[in-house]
Structure 1
Amino acid sequence: MPIIINTIEEALKRLRSLNENNNQRIIIGIVGKPGAGKSTLTSYLLENLVKEKAVLVPMDGYHLSNKLLEEYEKADRKGAYDTFDARGYSELIKRIKSDSDSDIYFPIFHREIEESIVAEGVVLKECKVVLTEGNYLLLDNHGWQDVKSFFTESWYIQIDDDLRRERLMARSIRYGRSPEIAYKWTHGSDEVNAKVVETTMNNADVILAL
């Protein structure tokens, strides 16, 4: 059964304890439905982990390009589990776990342009704590199945769905979608993806009931 944590302060305390009691690089996989607050949590953790030499590696950098999504006729499903380079992401996390002798570069996704920029992020060789967040880190098929084995721990964020959808709507509008399109995306594609993510909750080591 997953451990239950109720505050972000408890999450920080747990992460620091893991780091203090482990000589290896710590990798925490943070999972949640779209709009669950993954970015908010990771921002809080990073702000308080300066001396631990922490870095964030988002799964979103492995979005397939808009060009490929158009070619594969998946543009209207962008964000679904099969619209990412799952194997590429898995290999990145595997290398982060096993290679502490080299700086490791990774792509970062930008919502304002809806594309990723290659090698924009870096895990420095001296980095001790790596946070990685995304929707499908606990999925056990479609190329995602090996990812969990590379984590020190996996955390799943569980929050009220109405609040989550409100956040998604606001985020979509902030990045230029009309309220009508934002509503359609939030209650359409994003909701389908959310149901997939929900099926993976019991695969987590820790549930953050925030």
Structure 2
Amino acid sequence: MSDPGIDELVERARSLIADGSRRILGIIGAPGAGKSTVSDALAAALGAQTVIVGMDGFHLDNDELVRLGRRDRKGAPDTFDVDGYVSLLSRLHAAGRTSTSPGVPIYAPRFDRSLESSIGSAVLVRPEVPLIITEGNYLLLEEDGWQDVAAHLDESWYVDVDDDVRRERLIARRLGHGHPRDQAEAWVLGVDEPNARLVDATKHRADRVVTLGPLTPLLTESTHSA
């Protein structure tokens, strides 16, 4: 049995590429909101029509974060290579295949949670792929270089979920990577939560808000006309 919430999201995504042109769909939300869940569901339904290029691939390396004195708050806005991310989004838009250009393939990095590190050139984006899904926390932030991201998004969806559910997901994620519970809870409350409040303040800039309920994601409101 298909999920009507997912079906609606898939149809909206398909409508973005109905004319065959390349589009970039931004999936935004606080840490643990379910951005990857929505992105993966869309990718599974759309198959070869889409590829996911995550913001997390632009995490600064741990050694660099140590050098900068930012390792203890990895995930904050200034712990990413935002200029590199913006440059990639620009290239992805320009490199799509059109009626007058064959386009070119582009490689993007991927963040490996098991390694806590990014892997360069891990994601192949073929020129014939019409929909790029890019997901991350800060796509609608308007400071520190992040303000240049939104110009490269053809549509933005903000994924919203109950805060208690979101925090429990984050704690469970860290427990799954071997962190003791006290350390997991301390990180979520001390590092993830300030970032979550920062991200939540950008929700009004999204084109659409996707509320994740217990079973079904639903498009609950639109802040811009479609």
TM-score by length of 2: 0.87
Q: Does 1:32 align with 2:29?
A: yes
Give a deviation string over 1:81-130, Cα, whole Å, max 9, x none: 00000011011001101112110111111111111111111111111111
Corresponding residue number in structure 2 for 1:3: none
Tell me, in whole angstroms, the C-alpha distance in 2 between the residues paired with 1:99 and 1:189. Answer: 37
Cα offset, 1:31, TM superposition: 0.3
5+ residue gaps, structure 2: 97-102, 213-226
Percent identity of equivalent pairs: 45
Tell me, in whole angstroms, the C-alpha distance in 1 between the residues paired with 2:11 and 2:127. Answer: 24
Corresponding residue number in structure 2 for 1:7: 5
Cα offset, 1:40, TM superposition: 0.7
Q: Does 1:178 align with 2:166?
A: no
5+ residue gaps, structure 1: 1-5
TM-score by length of 1: 0.94
Tell me, in whole angstroms, the C-alpha distance in 2 between the residues paired with 1:127 and 1:23. Answer: 9
Q: Does 1:138 align with 2:136?
A: no
Higher relative contact order (CA 8 A, sep 6+): 1
- Secondary structure at the residue paired with 1:49? helix
How many residue pairs were aligned?
203
Tell me, in whole angstroms, the C-alpha distance in 2 between the residues paired with 1:69 and 1:8. Answer: 37
Q: Does 1:47 align with 2:49?
A: no
Aligned letter for 2:28?
V
Tell me, in whole angstroms, the C-alpha distance in 2 between the residues paired with 1:85 and 1:113. Answer: 18
Give a deviation string over 1:18-62, Cα, whole Å, max 9, x none: 222x331021000000000011111111110025x2100010000
Q: Does 1:120 align with 2:117?
A: no
Structure 1 vs Structure 2 CA RMSD: 1.2
Tell me, in whole angstroms, the C-alpha distance in 1 between the residues paired with 2:35 and 2:155. Answer: 15
Cα offset, 1:188, TM superposition: 1.0
- Secondary structure at the residue paired with 2:146? coil
Cα offset, 1:155, TM superposition: 0.6
Tell me, in whole angstroms, the C-alpha distance in 2 between the residues paired with 1:169 and 1:141. Answer: 28
Tell me, in whole angstroms, the C-alpha distance in 2 between the residues paired with 1:37 and 1:83. Answer: 21
Kept after mapping to 2: 8 A contact 1:30/1:38: yes
Tell me, in whole angstroms, the C-alpha distance in 1 between the residues paired with 2:20 and 2:42. Answer: 20
